Homo-oligomer: A and B are copies of this chain.
């Protein structure tokens, strides 16, 4: 069995094509479509499983996860600001990206676990939803302090009414209300095609990541180092938390992946409008050009091993 899921080969193809400046790109409408399918699929899957859980039992886990989403950007900020000598707005914006999560990375981790037949708590998409937002609030506060002029409404609108949350949450609700039997008729599209859709999505992500290489070169070594070190640290924290919350090995690996992943859909959009002085090229080249490739190529197997390790040690 290869070290990584064959699905990341599509990412590598996109990356290679992008670096070679091949005449290849998915039409924007298709990229949108694939994103919508992924978000709905993940939400629906989570919702169906959520229906089987006693909701009360999840509450403490949910609180702990939100706490992690607040602490991660707070921890990243000083590193970016002082070790990286970044401007305040840039440091805050990047911190927000890394405190939040990446749906694509999560999907690859799910595919990875499925490929290895590792079970996990199927309600984990709930954590995905929960982790989207807190880091954005923290990031805005870090950038502007407690400022009366902060366009909170704009930021809130961008996040709460952004595609990611609406479709994840919408999927969760539909899955929850409809239940396993109700979802059956749409499984062929949302579940059977999931991996294929993810493969195409990764192809495009490779092309996009290749496009970030240029600005990465301009913005120097620090972002590369940060883009690899941060997910490792965050992944370890996430794994630790997963174990403490009593998640299975698979669930622990997924929570580690969520902690380690950096947003490139919801957070950039929100930050662009609420902290406009932050340079989006910096956060995106770190998140898309370094951390995303690192996570799907090397990170996820690592977090999985880590989860196994902790569970073996911790019993």
Query: A292: shortest Cβ distance to chain B, in Å?
Result: 19
Interface SS, A side? helix
Q: Are B185 and A190 in contact (CB-based, < 8 A)? A: no
| 7 A-B contacts (beta carbon < 8 Å) | A6-B174, A16-B170, A22-B161, A23-B161, A26-B33, A30-B32, A189-B195
A186, B196: Cβ atoms under 8 Å? yes
Taking CB atoms and an 8 Å cut-off, the chain A residues in 196-213 that contact chain B are 196-197, 199-200
Question: Is A24 positioned at the interface, with any CB of B under 8 Å from its CB?
Answer: yes
Number of A residues, CB within 8 Å of B: 51
- Provide the bound-state CA to CA distance between A158 and B24, in Å: 11
Task: Report the minimum CB–CB distance from A229 to chain B (whole Å).
Answer: 29
- In the complex, which residues of chain B have a beta carbon less than 8 angstroms from the beta carbon of A29? 27-30
A26: min CB distance to chain B, Å? 7
Residues of B within 8 A of A193 (CB): 188-189, 193
Interface segment, A76-84, A140-148, A176-184, A281-289?
A: A176-184
Q: How far apart are the CA atoms of A239 and B167 in the complex, in Å? A: 37
Q: A178 to chain B: which residues have CB within 8 Å?
A: 2, 6, 9
